Structures are given as C-alpha cells and as structure tokens.
Chains A and B, each alone.
Chain A
C-alpha cells in the first residue's frame, strides 16, 4: 500500500510547496510595498 520512504518524501514535498507559496507571496508583497 504506502511505502514509508515515499510517505516521508510526500510530506516534505507538501510542506516545501506551502513554504514556497508563502515566500512567493511575501516577496511579491514586499517588493511592491517598498
């Protein structure tokens, strides 16, 4: 069914995606504010 290594990679992928999204939004907003 689910392989532990793939699950860990999956969790890291999901967390990385969210962090990337936050950084992008932050960078865009700050670029326009300054």
Chain B
C-alpha cells in the first residue's frame, strides 16, 4: 500500500496537472472554430472528441486531487514533477487529433510531432502536409506558440491562483526570470509580450502575403501560422516546402526579424519595453549571440561562397545566413531542401550548423540549445580565471556579468552553467551514437541529433516516418529534456524511483 503522505503527494501533483490539461485543452476551441469556418467536418469531429477526452481527464484529476490541497505544503519536488509530468501527459492527449486525422502512420509519430511542437523544435513526421486540414494546421502551430511560452505559464496566467505553487511550477518548466515580484504577474507579462508581437508579426506577414500574390484569407492564415512558428522559434510551416513555398525575400526578412526577437529572453523584452534601451547592448546573452551568430554566419558564408555553392551576395544572404541564423536561434525554418545540407554544404558547413544549433538562443525565451547566457558565463569564467592567474596574488578581484542587472560571477554560477552544457553534450553524443548504430553517416546523425537536442527543427533527411522507432523515441526524449533543461525531468525520475522504492520496502515489511 502506498503510504499516506505519498498518496497526498501524488494527488496534489495531479490536481495541478489537471488544471494545466484543462488550460491546454481549452485551446482546442481555436482549431474547432477554424474547422467550422472551413467546413472541415472530419477534423471538427476529431477535435471535439479530443477536447472532450482531455477536459474530462483534467476535471477528474482536479476533483481527485482536491482533497489534498490543504493537507500538503507544496515543495520544490512537487513543482518540478508537475511541470515535467504535465508535458508528457499533454503530449499524449494533444496527439489524439493528430492520430485521428490520418496524416500520421502511428500514435508514436503523432506523439513525436506534438512533442516537437511543444518544445518548439519543428522536426516532423506528418505526411501529406500540403493537403492537411486547416484545423489541424491551426493546432500544429498553436501548440508551437503555446509551447514557446510554456503550458505552465498558460495555466498560471488564468487558472492557478497560488503564487508560491506557481513559482515552483514555473521554474520546473525551465524558466527562472522574475519580471515582477509575483509569478502570476510574470506569466501575464510573458503573454502580453507574445500577444503584442503576435499582432504586429501577423499583420506584417499578412500584408506581405497579399503583396506576393496569396489570397487575403490564405495570406492571413499563413501569416498567422508562420508568425507563431517564428516567434516560438518553432519551424513548423503550413506547406511541406517550409519557407521556400513563398519564394519571397521580404517574407524571409520578416521571419528573420521575428525569430531573432523571439529567441531573446523575456526579461530583456520587458527591460527594453520599460525604456532601458541600453540593456540590449549590455546584456551578456545578446553580446554572446552577437558574437557567435556573426562568426557562424561569416564562416559558413565564406566557406560556401569559396566552394562555389552560393556565389553571389543575394544567395549568400538567402541560403546561408538565413539558415545559419535559423539554426542558431533554434527556429528551424529552411529555404533549402533537407538533402541540400548533405550534398552541398559539405562537412564544414554541417559542422557550423551543428555548433550553431547546440549553442541556441537565450535562456527564458522560446529558444532551445545550451543558451547564450550559459556560453557567456562559462567563457567569461575562463577569461577571468586566466586574468586571476596573471594578476598579483594579493589582489582580490570580483568579476561581474550583466544580465538585466549586475550579477557577481561566482564559481557556483559557472559550475551550474557548465553542468547543463555537459548534460546537453551527453544527450547529443548519445543521439549521434544511435543514428550511427542504425546506419546513418556520422555527419547526418550529428546534424539531426543537434537539431533534436537543441529544439531546432532543421533536418538533413534523417527524420522521416520510416526511421527506426528507437530513434523516434530518443528524439522525443532529447526534445523533452532539452526544452525542460534536465532538472525537472530528473526530479520526475527521482520521484518515480523514490515511490517504487517505498512501495517495495512496505511490501517487504
């Protein structure tokens, strides 16, 4: 028998997960409306069925866990487990309309696409994308947009009242920045920033879509979908040719602007929106991104131009810089075909892309990867250690870095950053190993593993419905761990092992 405290622990966890499920399931109203407007009766039925299942499960969990609310004091372990477990449950529930649509060959493929959406990755196994219903397309892009901000942030904004509980769940989702003293306020500001940019970005892409020849209604939906993918650094697009479908440089420029801005820290947006314009130049993350993005784009452009793959300025910008920045911000929009990376970019081009994908965007943003903040901290830590060695031994130096405010660069911060980077590298290496085991070339395995680990979404052609199931499962795990930044997922594993251990001990006694 499960001990009574553990039982309450489980109930309180599922109580809050119930709210997160209800919040996310509520969003199915948008694809339902879209299906109604487009008179797509089959997708409409799929979404009504999925919505009913998810909401009923959510309500049952809330009712089941309600009795424990006053009996358990929420601790860090609860917050971390709520965040990590809710992502897994939501992956399963949100995959139902995917599977019912018939566009995916198995439920595992549907889960793969949902996790790719939630983690704002963008690699996909969906088939016949060009003929997918508008309702399902709305759902694909909506889960990317919600995933960028976080489902816990969504629930916190509208459903969860307790700030202390909320903060622990918020951290569990891989976010740590506090824009205002209470976490509900922070969650609302994150949404405000995203919605303001949603309006601007959709309008810009809508107008541009009409100018490049799309019909007004189609231009609006494409603008909305592409914007949601850009801002969330997601990489999904309504057409299988991705951003190439539009054959438009203006469309590409607009998406570059929004996916780079989307890869910035929400704390940075808030500081700049409050009038602190200098923050964008002083912040260690933007400095780090500025340096790494410039070097990566420059090296790739020089290499591919010298190799005569792309020889004029326009093709260098549209084919090289666009894709490198898309990789670096972990967006995943591509305006070359997947196999062109393998056949034209060469090992050096792939090497640059892998590094860019692994480094990624900013912490507490919609982007993935190690994050510029950690790279900046570790590099600054190394520089400062060298400086210390060169200075007089009697001199005591305090080193700082600027990220929204001044922080002292102590060894604990450097250690924590280095540990997360090591975890990412281990996850990446295992991914490469699995790819090589199944017969893919090392460079292609590395490209795809970096794309999954860094939540990027670019593909070199490895991700396909016929790839081995083990690789599909591993990429789901890599996307999930990469997005949640390991700690809450480790807490979930620890919680499950602890529960099993206690149950075994009680059985032995």
Chain A residues near B (Cβ < 8 Å): 2-3, 6-7, 9-11, 13-15, 17-19, 21-22, 24-26, 28-30, 32-33
* Given A10-B269, A14-B269, A15-B257; A29-B298 close (CB under 8 Å): yes
With A and B bound together, what is the CA distance between A8 and B493 in angstroms?
45
B192 and A21: CB pair below 8 A?
A: no
Residue B487 CB within 8 A of the other chain:
no
B260 and A21: CB pair below 8 A?
A: yes
Write the nearest CB–CB distance from B282 to chain A, whole angstroms: 12
Task: Tell me how many residue pairs across A and B have CB atoms closer than 8 Å.
Answer: 82
List B residues 303-330 near A (Cβ within 8 Å).
Answer: 305-306, 311, 313, 316-317, 320-321, 325
Interface string of B265-277 (1 = CB under 8 A from A): 0000100111101
List B residues 262-306 near A (Cβ within 8 Å).
Answer: 264, 269, 272-275, 277, 280-281, 286, 290, 293-294, 297-298, 301-302, 305-306
A15 and B321: CB pair below 8 A?
A: no
| 11 interchain pairs, CB-CB under 8 A | A2-B273, A6-B273, A7-B196, A11-B273, A14-B261, A18-B260, A21-B290, A21-B293, A29-B298, A29-B316, A29-B321
Residue B200 CB within 8 A of the other chain:
yes
Which of A9, A18, A22, A30 contacts B261 (CB under 8 A)? A18
Residue B256 CB within 8 A of the other chain:
yes
B316 and A30: CB pair below 8 A?
A: yes
A32 and B274: CB pair below 8 A?
A: no
With A and B bound together, what is the CA distance between A17 and B281 in angstroms?
9
A25 and B293: CB pair below 8 A?
A: yes
For B297, the closest partner residue in chain A by CB is A25
With A and B bound together, what is the CA distance between A11 and B311 in angstroms?
34
Which of A7, A10, A33 contacts B301 (CB under 8 A)? A33
A9 and B257: CB pair below 8 A?
A: no
For B275, the closest partner residue in chain A by CB is A6
A17 and B256: CB pair below 8 A?
A: no
With A and B bound together, what is the CA distance between A2 and B272 in angstroms?
11
With A and B bound together, what is the CA distance between A32 and B200 in angstroms?
36
With A and B bound together, what is the CA distance between A22 and B99 in angstroms?
40
With A and B bound together, what is the CA distance between A21 and B317 in angstroms?
13
A29 and B196: CB pair below 8 A?
A: no
For B263, the closest partner residue in chain A by CB is A18
A25 and B302: CB pair below 8 A?
A: no
B301 and A2: CB pair below 8 A?
A: no
With A and B bound together, what is the CA distance between A25 and B256 in angstroms?
13
A17 and B301: CB pair below 8 A?
A: no
Q: A14-B264, A26-B321, A32-B298 are in contact. List 6 more A-B contacts (CB 8 A).
A: A6-B275, A14-B272, A18-B256, A22-B256, A25-B294, A30-B313
Which of A9, A29, A33 contacts B277 (CB under 8 A)? A9
* Given A25-B298, A33-B302; A2-B192 close (CB under 8 Å): yes
Complex interface: chain B residues within 8 A of A26 (CB): 313, 316-317, 321
Complex interface: chain B residues within 8 A of A30 (CB): 313, 316
For A33, the closest partner residue in chain B by CB is B305
Write the nearest CB–CB distance from B179 to chain A, whole angstroms: 10
